[in-house]
Amino acid sequence: MTVEWTKQAKTAVRATIKYVEDNFGPRSKLSLAREIVMSEHLLASHPFMGIVEPLLEDRFITYRSLIVKRLNKMVYRIDNDCIIIVDFWNLRRNPDKLRNQVQ
């Protein structure tokens, strides 16, 4: 399967990586970036490995999520032969914002 990132997800992952670099240094940034790439490759091979996202269960489209480095998760949906990552979410944020942010 192919993996595509929405504009929103790309913006969120860039902001997270920049935050980690600014506050924890380049080694932490590299560790997070590697984990993101590894998670993306795992999803391409095993698209149903993420759980159905409990905050978005009421949606018509099924959204799934995969935890990345304990404090973040990739929120994605499966569309035919494509995994679409719709958001990269920090778990310390208000969960109601995720409900409002993902359309």
- For the entire predicted model, the pTM comes to 0.88
Question: Whose structure tokens read 């670099």?
Answer: 21
In the predicted model, what is the mean pLDDT of the chain? Answer: 91
Amino acid (one-letter) located at 91? L
Q: Where along the chain do its domains lie?
A: 2-92
Distances from the Cα of 74 to the Cα of 5, 25, 43, 67, angstroms: 10, 22, 10, 7
Helix (H, G, I), strand (E, B) or coil at 27: helix
Q: Does domain 2-92 have CATH number 3.30.2310.20?
A: yes
Token couple for 17:
């990586």
Token couple for 74:
């990739």
What are the pLDDT digits (tens) for 56-85? Answer: 888 899 999 999 988 899 999 999 999 999
